[in-house]
Amino acid sequence: MRHLIAQRLLLSFLVPLFFYSGSVVQSFGQESLVTDTFKKVDKSGAGYINPTNLLIHGGPIVNAQTQVSEIDLVSAVAADETFKGTWPFQAHYSTAPGFPMHYIDEGSGTETFLLLHGEPTWGYLFRQQIPRWAEHARVIAVDHMGFGKSATPADRTYWLQDHVDNIEALVLDLNLSDLTLVMHDFGGPVGMGLAARRPQRIKRIVSINAPLPFGQPDLVDRVTANAGVSPWFQWIAKAESQGILEEVLGHLDYNILSTLKLNGFVDNDIVSDTWINAYRAPFPTLNETAGAIGWAKGFALGMHQFAEPEPEVKSIIAQIPAMAIWGEQDRTLHAEHFLPLFTQLFPEAPIHRLRHAGHYSPEDAPVDITRLVLNFLQSN
């Protein structure tokens, strides 16, 4: 059944290509995603680093109690990198997923937030929320495999189910329970995959511009409709059909701004050299973009397997408190197509629409996001 749904999603994703005319790559005061890449592509591939050199072989087990100084970790982003103080959090690593997976662990108490980012960001997306949330709860923000300060192993695949495997391993390694999942973008499918496998460990669910696929009967129809109006998903399909997806996303160190803008953020005042450096730093070479390429390519090839919970699991999750926050200027994940999936699962749950925020709503509306999640925590 999982493979059938993946195949149906592949068809629903590719069909809009046949009805789309013109370029899907648009300019936003910057050079286009494709144009700025091919001005820089080194066809020889010289200078690329084999990411197997980043892995720890036979090293010590790294977990919540192990300090960064105790491990020999070389990654795209140094463990102690703060990006001029904008990311002041202590780095932690777990090797339970089979590679050094980075997370931060701030605050304390009986409540635990697990923050799951999406494409092509990392925990930095939540940097403005973490200090305030940590005043009320333990806050763990994870970097998915191939993103942020986590390693990018060369011998792994980067499909949705792989990321779910990794998060599950981390949760078990740290023995996390009573979790409030705070999910953005593809963090939604990853978090719901965890919920399908470990429902008793989930206490609350917060979707921030994050789809929550959980066996809804119209999932394929919703994804199809969204793909027809999303420049990002249309570009993925077109780039894959032209054989350029890897080369374009393989240079996120150069085109990160246009990639983020294509997905949709609204507040251009947030853009600075430090901000750009923080988002481009995890992707200095083609090999280290495997995570970003894998997530995009997984849609084009129909490789992602979405959660299909058993009825009793779905019933457990449907009874827990949930909330959705959606930046309405999201160009990638349109509210009209994905909020109905949320409502099917949580018919009584509150939905907050942010008119002046885009896809990266924690960046566009940091104060609103912080407040809404804290209010939700205190009332549930």
Does residue 192 register a pLDDT over 90?
yes
Q: What is the CA radius of gyration of the chain?
A: 19
**Residue 231's domain is classified under what CATH number?**
3.40.50.1820
Q: What is the DSSP letter of 29?
A: S
Mean pLDDT over 41-58 rounds to 28
List of E strands, the chain: 92-94, 101-106, 112-116, 138-142, 179-184, 202-208, 322-329, 351-358
At 81-94, the pLDDT tens digits run: 999 999 999 999 99
3-state secondary structure of 351: strand
User: How far apart (Å, rounded) are the C-alpha atoms in residues 158 and 291?
Assistant: 6
Cβ count within 10 A of residue 197: 16
pLDDT of 136 reads: 97
Q: How far apart are CA 217 and CA 62, in angstroms?
A: 41
Cα–Cα distance measured from residue 19 to residue 372, given in angstroms and rounded to the nearest whole number: 39
- pLDDT tens digits for range 110-146: 999 999 999 999 999 999 999 999 999 999 999 999 9
Number of domains composing the chain: 1
HEC-encoded secondary structure of 36-71: HHHCCCCCCCCCCCCHHHHCCCCCCCCCCCCCHHHC
- Asked if residues 231 and 299 have their Cβ atoms less than 8 Å apart, the reply is no
Which domain, by its residues, includes 283? 2-379
Tell me the C-alpha distance between 50 and 76, whole Å: 12
Q: pTM of the full predicted structure?
A: 0.85
